[in-house]
Structure 1
Amino acid sequence: MNEIAVGVSTGGSATMRAVRWAAERASTSGSTLRLVHVVDESSTLVSRAAASPGQATSEAAIAAEAHLRECLDQAAALALEIDDRIEVVTTLERGSPVEVFERVSADAEMLVVGSDWHGGRRASRRRVLSLRIAAVSRAAVAVIPDLEPGERRGVVVGVDGSHISDHALAFAADEADRMGEPLIAVHSWDVVAMVGGEYGYGAPLIAGDDLARAESEILDAALAPVVAEHPGLEVVRSVVAGDPVHDLTEAAAGASMLVVGSHGRGALARFLLGSVSQGVLADLVAPTIVLR
């Protein structure tokens, strides 16, 4: 479906940045913008008041719900300031936020959530919730940091030669082409892990130069179809022996966007992100899109 769904909280700059980012994207893609606030019935004033007898509590519940709808209206007004041609739909849902956004994401091309988790600060409930929503989303999920946009340029993507990485690379190339910005492809590899050095064997058997050459070939092979499909696209290659999370966040510090594929695995894969995607979301430096 040609729809971008946005999680809207009860205000704050993180939510408004997410709404603005999604509205700008909807403006260029022609997508419907669905603004969703979820009333967590296990903990909200609305549910507690509705469950309690008495006129005062009922009035409190009505006032609380009116405030939530006002927050949705404010978000919609901001979106229409970006482009008054955007079709904006507001939805007030009840239930578990994670379950609701999993369902909503099934009918969306992208799910957008705001997060104030960046710069190594202590995790708030909102930051943790954004990770949980990203893990269950059935669509691409964009996590927008509460940071000033500034002068940013480039679309950074992590490349490791896997199928999900190829998917992320193709997506990032399309985005870079659409935005008229360079594609910055980062292939980061850990030489110690590659040669088994952490276990005390293997390192003498493989020369570092040979490994570097092999890793560079992985990036070249992944980029070949992208370059062929986007002949005018500026591509910046980066092959780094280091930690992927550190290298990606460093490359994306001044970028417009970071794109990663998620390698959640095992019986709980539906609820988990891979270590790299989880790592970059835990230290947001740019709008970050996770593909599964």
Structure 2
Amino acid sequence: MAEKIIVGVSGAPVSDRAVDWAVARGTARGQSVELIAVVGGVVGAVGEASVLERATRSAQDMLDAQVARVGGGLTTRVLSGNPVAHLIDASMDAALLVLGSDYRGPDRGPTRGAHGIRIAAGAHCPVVVVPDIDLEQRAGVVVGLDGSAISERALAFAAAEADRLGEKLVAVSVWSPLTAPRNTLAVYPELYLANMQAVTEEAQSLALAGLASQYPDLVIERVVEKGYPSHVINAHAAHARLIVLGTHGRGALARFLLGSISQEVLERLATVTAVVR
């Protein structure tokens, strides 16, 4: 089992938050941490070598400053080329890949950039995206459950993190009525809505059934709501320390595509977000 956490480090201020998150997690779980910076835009142009040398040296200085800031104990690596490809390749030998995002919440800047989403979609290990948000007053670990095998892996990751952090686990399952052409179903039968709620509650209960024996001290809050998944999940994540989602692999031809719900949550980060494959 890989026991290394890799952190993609840029010059953005949020890199401090990403490194701090990874170091805290690595210390708690006995995992090493490696910082990687990628000098992008390399095309082999005439005269590029000297520019690349200066950029590489600057990137290494940036990583060295991070190591000094946290008190040492980290390894570093500077690469040149395509940042997305390099970080995806690095994830093959990692337990976790951590990225920072300068997104600071609704109405406070652009959505999460395409590069971060492509890395999360193509990585070979779970990816944690750390936004530039103060989480000091946050509590709880939120996990989205939909009854699939991948959401079981997301639940395992979330439960372990909640137990490690001493936080409650908030299990969120969302159901939506079937869709129909406009005005066809203006009002849904109450029996149908009640049964949808009951079926979703039952599926969630089955998913959570084994956690009590594995984590006897873990507090679990169960949430089953009607609505659109990414909206409901982000609403509950707004006050949480961490949110965990599963995403389905789509094969080599579409390796840079996330499931729609995971992508929508990543585009509007509410808190530190883990994507588990």
User: Could you state the TM-score of these two structures normalised by the residue count of structure 2?
Assistant: 0.91
Q: 1:161 aligns with which of 119, 140, 147?
A: 147
**1:56-91 residue CA offsets vs partner (Å, 9 max, x unmatched):** x83x554333211111111212332xxx5xx31110
The answer for the alignment partner of 2:6 in structure 1 is 5
Indicate conservation of the 8 Å contact 1:192/1:198, yes or no. no
Give the match for residue 42 of structure 2: 42
State the match for 1:69 in structure 2. Answer: 60
Out of 82, 103, 112, which is 1:96 matched to? 82
- The one-letter amino acid paired with 2:118 is R
Q: Distance in 1 between matches of 2:144 and 2:270?
A: 15
Superposed displacement of residue 285, structure 1: 1.2
Task: Name the SS of the counterpart of 2:66 in structure 1.
Answer: helix
Contact residue 42 and residue 80 of structure 2 kept, 8 A? no
Distance in 1, Cα, partners of 2:47 & 2:269: 41
2:231 aligned partner: 246
Decide whether the 8 Å contact of 1:185 with 1:238 is kept in 2. yes
> The residue matched to 1:106 in structure 2 has which SS?
helix
Q: 1:206: how far off?
A: 5.4
Alignment of 1:251-262 (within 5 A): 251-262=236-247
1:189–1:24 distance in 2 versus 1, CA, 3 Å:
same
1:19 is matched with which residue?
A: 19
Q: Name 1:287's counterpart in structure 2.
A: 272
- Residue 116 of structure 1 deviates from its aligned partner by 1.2
* One-letter amino acid matched to 1:291: V
Identify, as 1 or 2, the structure richer in helix: 1
Cα distance in structure 2, aligned partners of 1:200 and 1:12: 50
Q: Contact between 1:249 and 1:285, CA under 8 Å: does it hold in 2?
A: yes
Give the TM-score of the pair, scaled to structure 1: 0.86
Amino acid at match of 1:200: T
Q: Distance in 2 between matches of 1:157 and 1:270?
A: 23
SS at match of 1:139: coil
Match of 1:182 among 168, 179, 182: 168
Does 2:125 match 1:127?
no
Establish whether residue 191 from structure 1 lines up as the match of residue 177 from structure 2.
yes
State the alpha-carbon separation in 2 of the partners of residues 141 and 174 from structure 1.
15
Which residue among 125, 137, 152 is the counterpart of 1:139? Answer: 125
Structure 1 pair 118–243 and aligned structure 2 pair: CA distance change class (3 A): farther
- Distance in 1, Cα, partners of 2:175 & 2:60: 48
Matched residue count:
274
State the alpha-carbon separation in 2 of the partners of residues 205 and 285 from structure 1: 33
What amino acid sits opposite 2:19 in the alignment?
A: V
Identity of aligned pairs, percent?
40
Q: CA RMSD in A?
A: 2.3
CA distance in 2, matches of 1:61, 1:210: 62
SS state at 1:105 partner: helix
| Equivalent pair of 1:20/1:78 in contact (CA under 8 Å) | no
Provide the rounded CA distance (Å) in 1 between the counterparts of 2:171 and 2:65: 38
Query: Does the residue aligned with 1:28 lie in a helix, a strand or coil?
Result: helix
Within the alignment, does 1:200 sit opposite 2:191 as a pair? no
Asked whether the 8 Å contact 2:105–2:268 carries over to 1, the reply is yes
AA partner of residue 228 (structure 1) = S
| Partner AA of 1:32 in structure 2 | S
Unaligned runs of 5+ in 1: none
Q: Secondary structure at the match of 1:237?
A: strand
